[in-house]
Structure 1
Amino acid sequence: MKVVVLGGGIAGLCMGIYLHQHDIDVSVNERQIFSAVGGHAFLMHHDGITVLNELAINSNALLPGKEVHTFMLRDSEGLILNEKTLEDWQCFKRTDLLACLNQLLPAYRLKNNRVFSHFIYETDQIVAAAFSNGEVEYGDVFIGADGANSIVRQQIFGEVKFEPGKVKEVVGIIQHAELAGSLQGRFTKFQQKDQGLSFGLIPTSATEMVWFMQYDPLLADIPEGISSRSSGQYHEQLRQLCLNLLKDFPAEVQEVLKYNDFRTSYIWNTRDFDLLPSFHYQNVVLMGDAAHVALPFTSAGTTNAMLDAKTLSHCMLNYPSLPAAFSAYYQLRADSIKEHVNLGRTLRDSFLDATSTGVIPLISTVIK
């Protein structure tokens, strides 16, 4: 059996590693060559960390990740509203995790510079994936792991109805040894009491921190005409947006904004879509953000992508036929995904209603 994975991000790489470990012929196809620069960071729960340990069990790879043992919610004046001990959470830089996964997958399994274009059919059966550079990869199974804007999903299921997230998020990363040192092991979030506005800080190393600002765009936003992330005007407008919205937040927040390079920051327009009725059609199956997207309040996206890889590979290896394997994969993952989508929307609505000061914005450990 030859498996063609379309997308070499976290989900696709995890799937490729699992299949390679079980001697399945697999090709992971990625649109660009990995570069260990850029990108930001995210939180990962025990379930995702377990997958990473399984993938690296027979290697000498140094696993990334920085322990996060405490969540602290403070108001916009700095007063502590809630403090919670976190069990088995870590913060990962996206580039560090991708670098680790790239090491765990043999180079001959990964093919770069391949932007998926379309499927090739023979007698109504998909037999190959064609790429925009003219290359073709034949296979028996095709796995769409090409992200939220999945071309694979679009060609198989048609357009999905994205629901606007109603909340935008600015993300950045800074080097600041003093501030990072004072916040080691803590995810600190400042929440304005009467508006949909918050600011989060998570150390990724002894000297580095990732930060984010979640905001209701009805409060303020960058004018629609300024859309290019590469323009100087965009970066200056973004800086002014953050400074204006966060002007009354504590000194730690002002320090971050002072040292942040806004040329490396961006606005994320959050969105999601309802659970699909199936994750597969014939010999094509979806995983990760191609299969499901939840709002960022759940901190579940990366963990879910890695659990998809574990579950899908297990089903493909242990069920007697592909239809049975794909159906089992959906049954095992659908309820959890639906709960995360609903949880994200609940937390989003609470955030916008400015009543979220008692809510811990992390995935519930009862959701598996």
Structure 2
Amino acid sequence: MKKIAVVGAGISGLSMANYLEKHKIDYHIYERRKKEDLAGHGFLIPQEGMDYLYQIIDSELLLQHGNFLKKYIQYSHTGKILAEKELNNVFAISRHSLINLLAQNIAPEKITYEETIIPDEQQDGKLKLSDGTDIDADIAVISDGSRSRIRRSLFKNETMRMVRESEVVNIIQNKAIADAIDNDFMKFHHEEGGLTFGILKLADDTVLWYSQFDNQKYMINECSAENLKKYMVDVFKNWHPLVPEIIQKSHYNNVHLWNVYELEELNPFYKNNVVFIGDAAHPLIPFTSQGVTSALKDSFSLTKYLVEEENTETAFNKYETERKPEIEFHIRNGRTLLKQFLLPLHQQTENILPISYK
């Protein structure tokens, strides 16, 4: 079996490494950030994603680090219940916990941190280390995120556009608040549309919260944590008391302001000996809640065809043929959910679940 370089040690890169490890395929991971920088916030993972995750992480171990949510409850911004829906084994877990669980099966010598991989401008499809040294690999699996530099270098005509939505994401450790929300996924919506506040429990004392903004109505600029907190307090001061309480009691040293982008049109998932997985292949806007599941399915599918097919291009083609239709479905669903989000509440589809199911 050929040697594989995996670029990126996020969820998709580590998932790929775990599947390669299962099949005893030679690989090495390159990550541009420091190991301690690979923290983050959290994910929702539907049952389908959990089925793939159970193949590489022990189920009991997973349950020690995350939480199954019982139901989705949609509220008005003042706290009136608008809709409720039972959730079918939707799992909530922090990014930090999932990264650590995926990394536990990878030998330290198989990951190089603080190493930026760059395209070789002289040889199409070849990649280099930051010092100009050629990467010692036959295949490069690219998992360097939605703004992938390597993808942009190979597909120079691609167009990424900013979506009409931005998010502020944070985690609060507070047992009283965690107890108050039970195991429900709570989401508050402003009646005029374009502004929401979501809350979900990650552990007994840990809650993930996020706010979604129509960035044409609410201009959030990159700013200090202190100023961002003041902005959040002001915007949500008249909401249900739980919302401003969470905003006030949260620490903002790790808050994340996320401007969301999407590809105008998907590129091919591979070129020459370079193949893309996860957000690097197909950025999905957050309304789908399919980022982790898609990364897991990409990694599983690509590994399967690399094992089955002697010809690399045949394996890549089968991987793309299998995965692309489903990704296109989730992209369409995400755009539909975005349009709903921008509408006043009375114009939105009732009981719409913020997860894209195929």
Q: TM-score, normalised by structure 2?
A: 0.93
Deviations 1:311-359 (A, max 9, x none): 1111111123111111111111111111111111111111111233624
Deviation, 1:301, is: 1.1
Q: 1:247 to 1:58 in 2, by over 3 A?
A: closer
What CA RMSD, in Å, does the superposition of the two structures yield over aligned residues? 2.2
Deviation, 1:247, is: 1.8
Of 192-201 and 212-221, deviating more is: 212-221
Contact 2:10-2:38 within 8 A present in 1 as well? no
Deviations 1:59-87 (A, max 9, x none): 98876321112111011110111111111
Q: Give the count of matched residue pairs.
A: 355
How far apart, in 1, do the equivalents of 2:81 and 2:61 lie? 42
Q: What letter matches 1:185 in structure 2?
A: N
Q: 1:343 to 1:245 in 2, by over 3 A?
A: same
Deviation, 1:277, is: 4.3
Tell me the equivalent position of 2:217: 219
> Does 2:350 match 1:358?
yes
Of 42-51 and 326-335, deviating more is: 42-51
Secondary structure of the corresponding residue to residue 86 of structure 1: strand
Deviations 1:149-188 (A, max 9, x none): 1122122212521122101111111111111012121110
Q: 1:46 to 1:89 in 2, by over 3 A?
A: same
1:265 to 255, 274, 277: 255
Secondary structure of the corresponding residue to residue 166 of structure 1: strand
Of 34-43 and 104-113, deviating more is: 34-43
How far apart, in 1, do the equivalents of 2:226 and 2:4 lie? 46
How far apart, in 1, do the equivalents of 2:353 and 2:259 lie? 18
Q: 1:61 to 1:82 in 2, by over 3 A?
A: closer
Tell me the equivalent position of 1:307: 297
How far apart, in 2, do the equivalents of 1:59 and 1:173 lie? 24
Deviation, 1:286, is: 0.5
Secondary structure of the corresponding residue to residue 120 of structure 2: strand
Deviations 1:166-216 (A, max 9, x none): 011111111111110121211100011123111000111111111011111
> Does 2:335 match 1:345?
yes
Tell me the equivalent position of 2:161: 163
Of 282-291 and 25-34, deviating more is: 25-34
Tell me the equivalent position of 2:203: 205
Of 25-34 and 203-212, deviating more is: 25-34
Tell me the equivalent position of 1:138: 136
Contact 2:287-2:356 within 8 A present in 1 as well? no
Contact 1:74-1:188 within 8 A present in 2 as well? yes
Tell me the equivalent position of 2:18: 17
Deviation, 1:32, is: 2.4
Tell me the equivalent position of 1:246: 236
Tell me the equivalent position of 2:320: 330
Q: 1:3 to 1:161 in 2, by over 3 A?
A: same
Tell me the equivalent position of 1:292: 282
How far apart, in 1, do the equivalents of 2:241 and 2:331 lie? 34
How far apart, in 1, do the equivalents of 2:124 and 2:251 lie? 50
2:152 to 154, 171, 196: 154
Deviations 1:39-67 (A, max 9, x none): 11110111221122101359988763211
Contact 1:220-1:241 within 8 A present in 2 as well? no
> Does 2:105 match 1:104?
yes
Q: TM-score, normalised by structure 1?
A: 0.90
Of 191-200 and 103-112, deviating more is: 103-112
Tell me the equivalent position of 1:7: 8
Deviations 1:213-233 (A, max 9, x none): 1111233323x5xx3x5xxxx
Deviations 1:239-288 (A, max 9, x none): 22212221221011011011011232132111211442410111111111
Q: What letter matches 2:233 in structure 1?
A: L
Deviation, 1:289, is: 0.7
Secondary structure of the corresponding residue to residue 71 of structure 1: strand
Deviation, 1:364, is: 3.7
Any gaps of 5 or more consecutive residues in structure 1? none
Q: What letter matches 2:168 in structure 1?
A: V
How far apart, in 2, do the equivalents of 1:263 and 1:36 lie? 13
